[in-house]
Amino acid sequence: MAPVLSAPVLDIDALLDDPQTRVIVCCGAGGVGKTTVAAALGLRAAESGRRVVVLTIDPARRLAQSLGLTTLDNTPRPVLSIDLAQGGSLDAMMLDMKRTFDEVVMAHAAPDKAEQILANPFYQAVSSSFAGTQEYMAMEKLGQLRLEADRNPDNPRWDLIVVDTPPSRSALDFLDAPKRLGSFLDGRFIRILAAPAKVGGRAYMKVFTTGVNIVTTAMTKLLGGQMLTDVQTFVAALDTMFGGFRERADHTYALLSDSATKFIVVAAPERDALREASYFVDRLDEEGMPLAGLVVNRVYRVSAPGLSAARALAAAEELDDIENGIPSNGRSNGSSGVSESTAITQALLRLHAVQAEIAERHQVLAKRFIAGHPDIPTVEVPAASQDIHDLVGLRAVGEALAGL
């Protein structure tokens, strides 16, 4: 079934070819193919002459396999098996949350203070698993990549950064990460741990200290004395470098809202995924973020769009009647069974009916979404017959994104 979208068409090639496009952020619900779309965009841009780095935050590590790399880590790795005739290049990497956090600490703290933080057991736990750390570090890494790209404006290492966001509804949480980190460090609990000595006034200090002692005594029983000491040491050290955290986060937030950044929302043609896409679109609009458009990924299409599911099933049943000698009057001539060729034809008709039904549902859902967001440029990507696991598959996805 051919696409019947009435929304403006998302012109992917124009987006990738525009030198003013410096960052593309792919966001959407989990399981909709963001990683594949991000890799396909990066590959198509690189083979068109752009210098591209793709940053994935997907823990499934599918990107490395698709690009022909054995592994991805926090260091950009060149993808060599691509067409470089147009002068482009492609690097790929996967966010290492803890290593990125370590880099932030070393960049913003004095050497002795950084060493103290990195050795702190509480920091080692927080840097790997604290809620929001992944999103904040994704922003930090994006800022680092852009800073490196801007060091030599006449001959940049990269002129396009493609970001694959976390696979969940929290995919836009990187917009809130600086605020959440600020709330954490500015919270009453953290202030009690970090700065009881800053409170002025002897009488108040006495009352405050008594309250702190009660809290810390209870926490010591709960966490253990050493754990509490680790927490206090970590918070005190982190507090000295929080200004650097906020400054970098504000810089990256400004980068995300800049006109050189484009967001692409990726969705599958299913009710829940499109509902999440609507959430992303509305949230980006609220934040004033530049939305390029929507990719409806893995859309079922059929080779004979004029043959509906109902007609295909009816034809299969009619073949049954003909083979069994049952004319239109419903009276049997006594023969029974079906030939092998008829059985194959019936199986194909029934398979077509299943695919046609799915394709019809996909189109209904996509049209419903577009009716609610008629001004958003959109492109459909047909469902692949097999998993995308190499550059050939990624090129096919890139061509579909470009409407070819």
pLDDT tens, 258-270? Answer: 999 999 999 989 8
Q: Where in the chain is the domain with CATH 3.40.50.300?
A: 12-171+252-302+370-401
For 20-24, 88-92, 149-153, 171-175, which range has the lowest pLDDT when averaged over its residues? 171-175
Most confident of the ranges 43-57, 172-186, 355-369: 43-57
List helix spans (H) across 258-390. 271-287, 309-323, 340-372
Which tens digit of pLDDT belongs to each residue from 96-121? 888 888 888 888 788 888 888 888 87
Q: For residue 21, what pLDDT is reported?
A: 97
Pairwise pLDDT comparison (172 vs 344), residue with the higher score: 344
Cα 301 to its chain centre, rounded Å, is 25
Q: How far, in Å, are 187, 319, 321, 333 from residue 339 at the CA level?
A: 77, 10, 12, 16
Pairwise pLDDT comparison (61 vs 31), residue with the higher score: 31
Q: How far, in Å, are 133, 166, 179, 249, 333 from residue 123 at the CA level?
A: 12, 22, 20, 19, 83
For 47-51, 177-181, 184-188, 273-277, which range has the lowest pLDDT when averaged over its residues? 184-188
pTM for the model: 0.78
How would you label 39-68 residue by residue, b for 16+ Cβ within 10 Å and e otherwise? bbbbbbbbbbbbbbbbbbbbeeebbbbbbe
CATH topology of domain 12-171+252-302+370-401: Rossmann fold (3.40.50)
For 128-132, 166-170, 292-296, 367-371, which range has the lowest pLDDT when averaged over its residues? 166-170
Q: For residue 310, what pLDDT is reported?
A: 76
Residues 6+ apart with CB under 8 A from 122: 227, 230, 231, 233, 234
Residue 218: pLDDT band (50, 70, 90) is very low
pLDDT at 12 over 80: yes
Pairwise pLDDT comparison (400 vs 361), residue with the higher score: 400
Pairwise pLDDT comparison (176 vs 47), residue with the higher score: 47
Q: For residue 235, what pLDDT is reported?
A: 65
Q: For residue 42, what pLDDT is reported?
A: 96
pLDDT at 234 over 50: yes
**d(C-alpha 375, C-alpha 44), whole Å:** 26
Q: For residue 37, what pLDDT is reported?
A: 94
DSSP 106-171: HHHS-HHHHHHHHT-HHHHHHHHH-TTHHHHHHHHHHHHHHHHHHSSTTS-S-SEEEEE--SSGGG
Q: For residue 59, what pLDDT is reported?
A: 60
Which tens digit of pLDDT belongs to each residue from 269-324? 988 889 888 988 998 988 889 999 999 998 887 666 677 777 777 777 777 666 66
**d(C-alpha 324, C-alpha 247), whole Å:** 79
Residue 88: pLDDT band (50, 70, 90) is very high
Q: For residue 265, what pLDDT is reported?
A: 94
pLDDT at 6 over 80: no
pLDDT at 212 over 50: no
CB 336 within 8 A of CB 381: no
Query: For the packed helices 97-108 and 242-257, what is the interaxial angle rounded to 10 degrees?
Result: 120
pLDDT at 203 over 60: no
